Every structure is written in C-alpha cells, then in structure tokens.
A and B are shown apart, each in its own frame.
Chain A
Amino acid sequence: AQSVSQHNHHVILSEAASLELGCNYSYGGTVNLFWYVQYPGQHLQLLLKYFSGDPLVKGIKGFEAEFIKSKFSFNLRKPSVQWSDTAEYFCAVIPNTGFQKLVFGTGTRLLVSP
C-alpha cells in the first residue's frame, strides 16, 4: 500500500521568503502525485498534479513542484510567498494502476507573516 510523508508540520515565513515543502512517498509502482491546498474555512483545492512527462510541474498561484523519481519525492516550491498563501498544504499519491486510492500526507500548516 502506498504512503506519504510530509516532514514539516508547521512552517512560518515572512512575506517574500522562498518556500519549499517536502513530500516523500512509498509505493512499488508508478504513481500520480498531487498537491492540494486548504485555505482557512475553505475546502480542498488542487494546486498542481504530476502524471507523466516533464518532472517540473507548474500549478496555480505561482507554485511549482518537482518529481524526483530516484528520491520518491515531490517537493512543493514557491520563490516568493505572500500573506494570502497562509493555508494548509497536502501532498497526495494515487497509483497509476489497480485500485485508485488517493492517499494523503498529514499536511503542512504554513503561516506567512506580513
């Protein structure tokens, strides 16, 4: 069964700082990878996804993520965060074949101070 680890539970940054959130997964086969964001009081929204092809994926609101197959990682990045990026971020994995069960990491709560 697949699993996802997000090592940073809480991150505090000042505006304009760069962001990198770690995500590692374990699964024996090929996977599709996602980052979701949940703003305070709102429901989950898809930030970006990787299915195949270019391992550097660009999403909404200036976010990007890089899939490094050898490291089983899919880290999320943003060069310059804004106060409005304050939210909880979830990495998720779904296998490419078989039962397509979407499994989430425990989430990273990001606080951006103005």
Chain B
Amino acid sequence: DVKVTQSSRYLVKRTGEKVFLECVQDMDHENMFWYRQDPGLGLRLIYFSYDVKMKEKGDIPEGYSVSREKKERFSLILESASTNQTSMYLCASSPSRTVVFGQGTRLTVV
C-alpha cells in the first residue's frame, strides 16, 4: 500500500512563527499536493508539485510557500503564521489519476 506520512498530527505555533509541515510518500509519485480543510469550505488546494523543484499555485496560495527538493518529500511553509491559518492540513500524493492522502496535521496558531 502507498503511504503518505505527515510529520505531525498536531501542532501549536505562535503568531509570526515560521512553520514547516513535512510530507513524505514512499511510492515515487510525481504529483504531490497540499490542501487545507475547514468546516463548510471543504478541501482547498494550496500548492501542488508535479516534479522535483516544480510547483504550481493552487486556489489559496497566499501566506504559504512550498519546497520539493526530493521526489518523495513535499514541504509546506507558513512564512509568518497567522491565526487565520489555524486549520487541518492534508498532504496527498498521486501517480496519475488516483490520489492518496496523509493523515493530516491539525495546526493551531495562537
């Protein structure tokens, strides 16, 4: 089975901190995604990457950046965390048309 692993299940950070969310997949997939999930808004795409060092903005990239230095790892960076970035963050990986999700990281910014 494909595994997508997010480094933390729960994180609490302070406003203004730089935050790194890490995601690793073990199946050599080209495509990787970062979503945030909020009640009533569903899953909204932040960024995605279709290859090493390649990235594309999703629907809500403001306040975020990403890094993909190795194929298996896709990092989401909150440059200066704000309270409105409190959310559930989901990483996903895809070989082509099927997407596998990690377990999610619940981030609270205080």
- Say yes or no: B58 contacts A107, CB within 8 Å: no
CA distance A105 to B40 in the complex (A): 10
Q: Within B6-29, which residues are at the interface with A (CB < 8 Å)? A: none
Please report the total number of B residues contacting A with Cβ < 8 Å: 24
Using CB atoms, name the residue of chain B closest to A42.
Answer: B103
- Say yes or no: B40 contacts A9, CB within 8 Å: yes
Cβ-neighbour of B56 out of A6, A43, A99, A102 (below 8 A): A99
- Say yes or no: B42 contacts A107, CB within 8 Å: yes
Q: Place the interface of chain A in its size category.
A: 20 to 34
CA distance A94 to B50 in the complex (A): 14
- Say yes or no: A103 contacts B45, CB within 8 Å: yes
CA distance A34 to B100 in the complex (A): 12
- Say yes or no: A106 contacts B97, CB within 8 Å: no
- Say yes or no: B48 contacts A101, CB within 8 Å: yes
- Say yes or no: A51 contacts B97, CB within 8 Å: yes
**Known contacts A90-B43, A106-B41; A100 and B101 CB within 8 A of each other:** no
**Known contacts A99-B50, A100-B97; A43 and B43 CB within 8 A of each other:** no
Residues of A within 8 A of B (CB): 6, 9, 32, 34, 43-44, 46, 49, 51, 90, 92, 94, 96, 99-107
Q: What are 15 of the A-B contact pairs (CB < 8 Å)?
A: A43-B90, A43-B102, A44-B90, A92-B43, A94-B97, A94-B99, A99-B56, A100-B31, A100-B94, A100-B96, A101-B56, A102-B45, A104-B35, A104-B43, A106-B42
- Lowest 10 A-B CB distances belong to which pairs? A106-B42, A104-B43, A107-B42, A44-B101, A43-B103, A104-B42, A32-B97, A102-B99, A43-B104, A105-B42
